[in-house]
Amino acid sequence: MPATPSQQGVDDVSERTQQNRSEGQSPATKAGRRLAAQLAAQKAAEAKRRRQAWAGGLAGVAVVAVLITVFVLVGGGDDDKPANQADATPSASASAPAQDAADAPPAPQLPAGADPALGSKPTVEAGKGELKKLAVTPVIKGTGPAVKKGQTITTNYVGVFYKDGKEFDSSWKAGQPATFAIGVGQVIPGWDQGLVGVTVGSRVQLDIPGELAYGNDEAAAGGRPTGPLRFVVDVLAAQ
């Protein structure tokens, strides 16, 4: 007897089921394997992206490390110099004379026939005993004309306290001689009285009591040196 349609459908399903079983795979197994393959592919792609990100990060760190190393070697090379090579580089004190020569004020222009010693700053020491009056002591005798009252003279000088020899003023520091009229009240009385009659080209020592300088009262002196003073003055010109 021929099979009915429903029976025929059952037979078809049974046939397909037997065919799948003969192949060793079920429909569910095939779908699961496809899903597992997709998941594995996704994981592999993510792992590849992470490896690429790590590689890029490590490359950036390496570049920064190289830059830092170059900066240290270039900027701080002197700090890494071995201790036994310290003497190979001139010290500050060794190079000081050249620097001093560059920064030193120009030598003063000396009058014709003047003693070359006038080109160097003198050393001035403290006085001895009690100073009661103006004392003018020749150190170098110049051969030029004598200074007259009212003339404008050019001088180099060093001023110290008579009692301890501490310097308080010097034209040598500025590298510029001082020019002023003499004998007319533009300078302290000790200078007005002590420098008139000194010949051009001379170096003289002026020991000046406080009353012929800036006085003996510190409050009234306005910050100027008080008490007895000692000056060594070079007369460079007079006109």
Distance CA 201, CA 143 (A): 6
Contact 161, 218 (CB under 8 A): no
Kindly name the residue from 153, 162, 182, 188 that is annotated as catalytic.
188
Distance CA 192, CA 184 (A): 7
> Length of the chain, please?
239
For the question of residue 162 being annotated catalytic, the response is: no
Would you call 121 helix, strand, or coil by DSSP? coil
Kindly name the residue from 12, 68, 168, 180 that is annotated as catalytic.
168
Question: Which structure tokens are listed for 58?
Answer: 């490590």
Kindly name the residue from 153, 182, 192, 214 that is annotated as catalytic.
214
For the question of residue 161 being annotated catalytic, the response is: no
For the question of residue 214 being annotated catalytic, the response is: yes
CB atoms within 10 A of CB 103: 8
Contact 190, 157 (CB under 8 A): no
Kindly name the residue from 153, 157, 208, 234 that is annotated as catalytic.
157
Contact 212, 189 (CB under 8 A): yes
Active site residues: 157, 168-169, 188, 214, 231
